[in-house]
Amino acid sequence: MEIQQILVKMFSFPLCIDHYLIVDQKTEFEWKLIQSFSNQIINHSIHEQFDKYLNIKISPYQAVQQVFKDLNKVNELIQLIIKIRKDIIYTQYKEANTNETYSMFGTYSDLQNYLGKYFEIEMQPQYNKYQLTEYGIMDLLVFGFLHKSRSFHRVITKGIAPQISSLYSWYQNFMARFEINNMIDPNYLPRKEKRVQIQKNKEQKSNPELIESIKDDKFIVFKDLIEKGVSIYTASLRDKEKMLVPHLVCAFARINYAEYLQSKNVDWECEDNDRMTPLFYAIRSESKGMIEYLLNQKVNLEHKDIQNRTPFYYACSLGQLFIIRFLVEKGADINARTALGRTPFSKTSFLGLYNVVEYLLQQPNIDFNYADKQGRNALHNAVFGPKGGRDGRKVGTWCYDSPLIAQLLLEHGMDVEAKDKDDNTPLHVAASSEALTSIPVLIAFGCNINSRNKWGETALIVAAKFNHHETAKLLIENQADFLLENEGFTAMEIAAKNYQFETFQYLLDQMKPYLLEIEKIKKNKLQEVLQSLMNITKNLKENKYVKYFLQHFQPTYDQDHASFIIEMQDGQNELMQSYLKNQIISQEQINNSFELCLKRKNMSIFKQLCIHSKFEYKVSLQKSLIAMLLESTELDLLLFQFNIDWFNYRSKLGETFLHKLIEKRKTETLLKILHFFQEIIDQTIQSHYRNCFLKLITKNDIYNFIIFQNTSSSTIIEIAVIHKFMDIYQMLDNFISVNYDSKQGLKFKLINYKIELDHATKLPQVLLKEEQNYKFIRKFSEVTQLTEKEILFFEKILINYKAGKTALTQYYQELQSKKQLIVVETEKQLEQHMNNIIHNYNIIGVDIEHYSDKIDQYKISFACTIQLSTIDIDYVIDIMKLRHVCNKYLEPIFQNQQLLKIFHGCDVDLRVLFCDLKIIVKQILDTSKIDMALMKSPNAQSLEKLCKQYLNIHLDKLYQTSDWRIRPLPQQMIEYARLDSASLLFLYPILIDECRKFNLVTKVFNQCQKLSLITQYPLVNIINKD
């Protein structure tokens, strides 16, 4: 049919249109692709190329044409159409079903027209007839992919999924319209099950006992098994080649077995997996009698295996001269070519089989000058050395070059300058594979030692590229010109470019007298060579090439060449030292270099610039220097090489550089700086610090610097305590106590407490609440009873969420900036505000900051603060101060069945409330459980990620691991504490709405209520000592 012809044109292999579809043909299709493109590098960036062409404002049709023209690969065409299918199917056939549906390729109508023109040009008669139908070319594309899609057919065999019912209906109509009668294979097996089935079929065809009887020469057993009905074509599954019985008989040269098989009318032309006949195995057995027997049975002497190798070629590759002579006498074609165009003569030359080559040269019809598909003849193969090939080594029975064969061939008149398709002479091949014994032979026969190939490379350049320094030495000793360039680079530079250091060293040593002589005539020649080396090795971190060059040469520098110092990369430290030593860098270049080093975080060059005593540093680089300080362990005291008043420097947040240093916990760097401060106090500071401001610093200045408060009113000592960096705290505290006696840098302390197990208190047993059914809810407000104000608040959140994340983010920030924050520190405050919550609100967000300690074998977590957020107020309750009355005022909150408590990851919070405050929580909703249900995952995302996903806000978790026992609480920790509980109220309506879409509300609500039942934890009493 015409449709079959069009589909074949599109996908380059036949579809089973006239028979039922065997769905599991994907492997065969992939194998055909691999065969088609085995010699090509598949380019997987077709989508980027397609988009690139669209971006330059050409039509989609021209873009498709250009991509096809550029790539010309069936695989890439398929990848493109897969993307079209994904982009079009669900818009064209499932949703809109209109020609004006937009996609990344323009409108559906445009794309269909453009692709139609492409196939119309290629297949006009079939396409014209096809145009008479109601379908377009895009329908062909979609149908073709659905017809071959494993997943599509798997869905159908298991029952049609509701979401693709319209697509399947269209698919059926398409098949009916064009009378495509094939049906889905009812015996379809998934790939894994099919592999198992294939293996079982093979095992049924195999008979290990018959195979072993041949190997062990048990003829009677062999004969009895065949007489009992075992197939004479049984396969040997243990052997790599999967030989059949006739192959195995010939491999062991069992002539009596062969005679018996002949009586059973065996087919001596049967093939193994590599399409080899038994004659190949008879040759392998080196049995002339076995070979002669088969030839007497009129077997095909010119049979070709999967690589188009004949039995004679096979015998030559094994080097069996007496078998080769016998086959020649029987009329074998000695010039038969393989699929790669190789002949037995070129193969034996490659393998170093001198006797065979000599014998073949004596044959009158030998074509010894024949070249294979790569243009290489026997001489190219003979001089192929041990370090060539794709794996960097020669593979074969003879792993070295064959100078004797090369000499023999040259004496018979082969051209020493013969070129392959890339214009490589035998000398190029020998140099690329380090054929050290063959190169003198080629030179003796007059080869051009400086001949260039298609790419402009000489043999010396090839040797340098592959790091064959012994080959390079041999070529130079025979007058190879090491000054010849390819694309502007000498062999020495090419060795450096390919990171071949050993060859680079040798070639540079050879060039040294020449370069020194040229330097006398042409100034700056060495500088030019150095600059070239710099450019081609600029990505190296340890540049041994530049270092080696500078060890042997002293270039004459000038300002013009010095200007490229600002382009230094990592690893150019040696060159920098040379420039500084010659004092030719200007102050402007120094400044530029500073900026570049900071940008690239290049410490090696930066340190060289810092220790150079020629210049004063007046640049303002504070921000960049501090950023570098936080990432490097080397900068520390180099900061004070600059004329920057570090003791009065403040960031936009009012911080000194020590604030940032401690937040990043740079303990080692801080220790060095404290030692430096000690030197200033003791007046033992070294003179090499050239910062003029250091002379004005006093002991009190250092103290004021250490206890300086940022905009959050925190000193560096307080930051260390907040983050539980007790090692840093101890260092700073010791420094202050040693140098400033009674002066203190800490304004708060840790509250003293002790933990006791509580065996006396017995809490009531929690009963399982009857499950609620929320299956038919239409909006979030039907889940629990809310006040009018709360409903209005949540509705505005949903409106802003649907308007886009930007609108919701602005709404969140606007409300939080105006929202009241109350820190509850007295019993009166606690009573007042808890009553306010109970009487005016039906939903709150809850979060707990706790601390973990150990008692006996238990790890005990106790509450430090509890955050409760309503839609109007955020409360931070100081449990460390109010623990003795918390149960009295908080239990009515947490056990109130009309008050919904929103947690995130409430497992730990519930345990803390139960063990510490003796409170059991009822009416819970955990946003982590909602996330797990929506994501169908056993693990939940963090609250930080949920807020980023749904609210587009970033929750700063800087104080998550802080020590929440400290009092008074710093303001920044209070601000941090309120945000978690507040954000939960914003997430609530969005997550409930998402659950409603997938009918998950009942599941998550009932699952959360069961969390209250988990109460098997030890009760404790936390007793304040202060």
Residues ≥6 apart with Cβ < 8 Å to 943: 904, 905, 927, 928, 955, 980, 983, 984
| 615 against 469, higher pLDDT | 469
- Spatial contact of 290 and 255, defined as CB atoms under 8 Å apart: yes
Please say if the pLDDT value at position 244 is more than 50: yes
User: Where does the pLDDT of residue 274 fall: very low under 50, low under 70, confident under 90, or very high at 90 and above?
Assistant: confident
Residue keyed to tokens 């030179």: 443
Residue 151 included in any domain: yes
Q: What is the mean predicted confidence (pLDDT) over 1000-1023?
A: 76
689 and 803: one domain?
no
pLDDT surpassing 90 at residue 851:
no
Each residue of 188-224: pLDDT tens digit? 445 555 555 555 555 556 788 888 888 889 999 999 9
Average pLDDT value for residue range 547-552: 76
Residue-wise over 551-577: b if at least 16 C-beta within 10 A, else e? eebebebeeebbeebbebbbbbbbbbe
Q: In sequence order, which ranges of 490-648 are alpha helices (DSSP H)? A: 491-497, 501-521, 525-536, 544-552, 559-562, 573-582, 587-600, 603-611, 622-629
User: DSSP assignment of 748-775, as one string?
Assistant: -EEPPEEEEE--S--PPPPPPPPPP--T
Of 199-203, 410-414, 468-472, 972-976, least confident by mean pLDDT is 199-203
Nearest Cα to 37, choosing from 16, 15, 12? 12
DSSP code per residue over 774-811: -TT--SGGGTS---HHHHHHHHHHHHHHHH-HHHHHHH
Tokens representing 879 are: 């449990």
Q: pLDDT-based confidence at 356, cuts 50/70/90?
A: very high
Chain Cα centroid distance, residue 425: 41
Task: Note the pTM of the prediction, 2 decimals.
Answer: 0.47
**Residues 382-398: what's their mean pLDDT?**
68
How far apart CA 786 and CA 418 sit, in angstroms, is: 92
Which residue has better confidence, 92 or 584?
A: 584
Contact between 232 and 206 (Cβ < 8 Å): no
Q: Are 280 and 315 in contact (CB under 8 A)?
A: no
Provide the percentage of residues in the chain whose pLDDT is more than 70: 63
Q: 529-543, 702-716, 917-931 — which one is most confidently predicted on average?
A: 917-931
| Average pLDDT over every residue of 69-84 | 44
Confirm if 662 and 719 have CB atoms less than 8 A apart: yes
Q: Is the pLDDT of residue 492 over 70?
A: yes
Over the stretch 779-799, which tens digit does the pLDDT of each residue have? Answer: 666 667 889 899 899 989 988
Highest mean pLDDT of the ranges 27-36, 190-199, 251-260, 532-541: 251-260
* Assigned domain for 867 exists: yes
339 in Cβ contact with 308 (< 8 Å): yes
Q: pLDDT at residue 874 above 90?
A: yes
CATH (domain of 653): 1.25.40
pLDDT of residue 832: 95
Residue 190: Cβ within 10 Å count: 13
Q: Give the span between the Cα atoms of 586 and 11, in whole angstroms.
A: 65
pLDDT level of residue 294 (50, 70, 90 thresholds): very high
Rounded to 5°, angle at Cα 431 from 426 and 436: 100
Q: 749, 764, 791 — which closes off a domain?
A: 749
797: in domain = yes
What pLDDT was estimated at residue 997? Answer: 83
Distance CA 230, CA 222 (A): 10
Specify which residues 820 forms β-bridges with.
Answer: 873
DSSP reduced 3-state for 3 = helix
Is the peptide bond between 60 and the residue preceding it cis, with omega within 30 degrees of 0?
no
pLDDT tens digits along 744-762: 555 556 676 677 777 667 6
* Judgement on whether residues 29 and 122 belong to the same structural domain of the protein: yes
- Work out the number of other CB atoms within 10 angstroms of the CB of residue 427: 28
Bridge partners (DSSP) of residue 244 are 235
Alpha helices in 612-742 (DSSP H): 622-629, 657-663, 667-682, 699-706, 716-722, 726-740
Clarify whether residues 844 and 902 are in a common domain: yes
Taking only the tens place, the pLDDT of each residue in 443-475 is 999 999 999 998 889 999 999 888 888 999 999
Residue 672, domain member (yes or no):
yes
Contact 181, 153 (CB under 8 A): no
3-state secondary structure of 352: coil
pLDDT band at 135 (very low <50, low <70, confident <90, very high): low
Q: What is the pLDDT of residue 467?
A: 85
SS3 77: helix
Q: Are residues 737 and 808 in the same domain?
A: no
Q: Residue 253 pLDDT more than 70?
A: yes
Instruction: Examine the domain organization and report whether 77 and 160 are in the same domain.
Output: yes
Measured distance CA(689)–CA(694) in Å, rounded: 8
**Domain of 975: which CATH number?**
3.30.420.10
If one counts the domains in the chain, the total is 3
Mean pLDDT over the full length of the chain: 74
Confidence of residue 535 (pLDDT cuts 50, 70, 90): confident
Burial 610-630 (b: 16+ CB within 10 A, else e): bebeeeebebebbebbbebbe
Give domain status of residue 393, yes or no: no
Give the end of a domain, one of 191, 219, 244.
191
Q: Residue 588: what pLDDT?
A: 58
Between 61-70, 267-276, 397-406, the lowest mean confidence (pLDDT) is in 61-70
Q: What is the pLDDT of residue 839?
A: 93
CA nearest to 277, candidates 317, 248, 237 = 248
> What is the structure's pLDDT at 946?
92
Q: Are residues 169 and 26 in the same domain?
A: yes
pLDDT score for 613? 43
10 and 115 belong to one structural domain: yes
At 86 the pLDDT is 42
Indicate whether 764 belongs to any domain.
Answer: no
Q: Does 69 share its domain with 139?
A: yes
| 742, 815: one domain | no
**Strands 924-926 and 858-869: what pairing?**
unpaired
**Contact by Cβ (8 Å): 448, 426:** no
What is the three-class DSSP state of 335?
coil
pLDDT at position 661 over 90:
no
Residues contacting residue 550 through CB under 8 Å, at least 6 positions apart:
530, 574, 575, 578
Q: At 100, is the pLDDT very low, low, confident or very high (cuts 50, 70, 90)? A: very low
Classify residue 975: in a domain, yes or no: yes
The residue count of the chain comes to 1026
Residue 84 is part of which domain span?
2-191
Between CA 406 and CA 440 the distance in angstroms is 11
Q: What is the pLDDT of residue 827?
A: 93
Res 401: pLDDT: 86
301 vs 855: CA distance, rounded Å: 89
pLDDT at 89 over 50: no
Tell me the Ramachandran region of residue 230: left when phi exceeds 0, alpha when psi lies from -120 to 50, beta otherwise: beta
Least confident stretch, 55-59, 140-144, 989-993: 55-59
Interatomic CA distance for residues 676 and 636, integer angstroms: 10
Q: What is the pLDDT of residue 740?
A: 82
Query: Considering the domain boundaries, does residue 648 fall inside one?
Result: yes
Q: Which residues pair with 823 in a beta bridge?
A: 876
- At 688 the pLDDT is 57
Tell whether 734 and 854 lie within a shared domain. Answer: no
Instruction: Decide which of 532 and 506 is more confident.
Output: 506
Highest mean pLDDT among 2-6, 407-411, 672-676 belongs to 407-411
Higher-pLDDT residue of 146 and 314 is 314
Indicate the range of 586-590, 754-758, 810-814 predicted with least confidence: 586-590
Q: Which residues contact 518 (CB under 8 A, 6 or more apart)?
A: 525
Task: Report yes or no: 851 and 1016 within 8 Å, Cβ to Cβ.
Answer: no
Per residue in 962-971, pLDDT tens? 888 888 888 8
Q: Directed axis angle between helix 321-329 and helix 288-296, to 10°? A: 20
Q: Residue 434, exposed/middle/buried by CB under 10 A (0-12, 13-18, 19+)?
A: buried
- For residue 578, the one-letter residue type is S
Residue 734 and residue 844 in one domain: no
Given a contact cutoff of 8 angstroms between Cβ atoms, the answer to whether 19 and 35 are in contact is no
Region of residue 631 (left: phi > 0; alpha: psi -120 to 50; beta: else)? alpha
**Which band of pLDDT confidence, cut at 50, 70 and 90, is reported for residue 986?**
very high
Q: Is 717 exposed, middle or buried (0-12, 13-18, 19+ CB in 10 A)?
A: buried
The more confident residue out of 490 and 875 is 875
Predicted confidence at residue 1025, as pLDDT, reads: 61
Say if residues 359 and 408 touch (Cβ distance below 8 Å): no
Instruction: Check: CB of residue 693 under 8 Å from CB of residue 643.
Output: yes
Q: What is the mean predicted confidence (pLDDT) over 588-597? A: 61
Amino acid 549: pLDDT = 79
Cα–Cα dist 627/660, whole Å: 9
Last residue of a domain, one of 151, 173, 191: 191
Helix (H) or strand (E) holding 859: strand 858-869
User: Is a pLDDT exceeding 70 seen at residue 479?
Assistant: yes
* pLDDT for res 428: 92
* pLDDT at residue 530, as a whole number: 73
Same domain membership, residue 731 and residue 862: no
Report whether 470 contacts 442 (CB < 8 A): no
Instruction: List the beta strands (DSSP E) in 72-221.
Output: 102-103, 106-107
User: Do 292 and 321 form a contact (C-beta atoms < 8 A)?
Assistant: no
Residue-level pLDDT at 865: 95
Q: What pLDDT does residue 88 have?
A: 40
